Amino acid sequence: MSVNMSVSETYSVGGVSFPTNKSIVNDAAIVQAPSLPAAESAELTVRTNDTEGSLTVAGGSTNVQTGNRIDLYWVENGVLKAARGATAGAVAGDVVPFTGLTGDVLPVATTTVTVAISVEADLGALLGDNVNGILFQCPARATFVVAGGDDVEDFSKVLDAGVAYAWFEGVGEDNPITGDTIAKVFISHADESGSQIVKSAFAYDND
């Protein structure tokens, strides 16, 4: 049985519409749409360097546990920023030390940030060369990290609220995971008010 992946968009400029449609047929697809719990507000209380420091989570407690993978979101001079893939150190009460961030450089100490646990969605063992389409979307600001079994990042996207990322074979852009064997996608969102469904899809052929 084949699986169809399609996208339909309409652009409008000066009252003139520019509709676009794309559809591809694949052997199979892996679709993930987990509901992730709310992120948490925190203060960057210690800034050790550009990629590590310590957070104090608001409210006197946190859902982050020692060893969790975490992502951070913040606003700096009116610009949305994000960093990903840190490892939480020994959590003590509402204090979360962390190391190993990738992405934007940490802001100055005392900056208010949003901390989110990055959840793993399993993809099995998928050859990147066989992938014909990739879709990411979340109603809130979100981070997607595609990785192999070694957890090393092969491809990532940080998307603003409600914005979708779509890559299709033949759209003029190179396959972002060609040459890789991917096993998982790490996902998080920045909504502190409640849970959000974070969606990802990988359409592929078997040969």
Segment 139-184, tens digit of pLDDT:
999 999 999 999 999 999 999 999 999 998 877 789 999 999 999 9
**Which structural domain range is residue 152 located in?**
26-35+119-204
Regarding whether 49 and 151 lie in a shared domain, the answer is no
Confidence of residue 1 (pLDDT cuts 50, 70, 90): low
Lowest model confidence (mean pLDDT) among 21-25, 70-74, 75-79, 195-199: 21-25
Element at 71 (helix H, strand E): strand 69-76
What is the distance between the alpha carbons of residues 178 and 51, in angstroms, rounded to a whole number?
28
User: What are the Cα distances from residue 31, in Å, to 22, 28, 122, 156, 177?
Assistant: 18, 10, 10, 17, 17
Confidence of residue 26 (pLDDT cuts 50, 70, 90): confident
What is the distance between the alpha carbons of residues 52 and 32, in angstroms, rounded to a whole number?
30
pLDDT value for 183: 96
Residue 78 pLDDT greater than 90, yes or no: yes
For residues 100-126, give the mean pLDDT. Answer: 96
Longest dimension (CA), the chain: 58
Q: How many CB atoms lie within 10 A of CB 162?
A: 11
Report yes or no on 18 lying in a domain.
Answer: no
What is the distance between the alpha carbons of residues 112 and 124, in angstroms, rounded to a whole number?
37
pLDDT value for 36: 97
Residue 80 pLDDT greater than 70, yes or no: yes
Report yes or no on 178 lying in a domain.
Answer: yes
Computed over every residue of the chain, the mean pLDDT equals 94
pLDDT value for 99: 98
Domain boundary among 66, 101, 117: 117
Residue 91 pLDDT greater than 80, yes or no: yes
Report yes or no on 14 lying in a domain.
Answer: no
Taking a C-beta distance cutoff of 8 angstroms, is the pair 118, 85 a contact?
Answer: yes
Count of domains forming the chain = 2
Regarding whether 31 and 76 lie in a shared domain, the answer is no
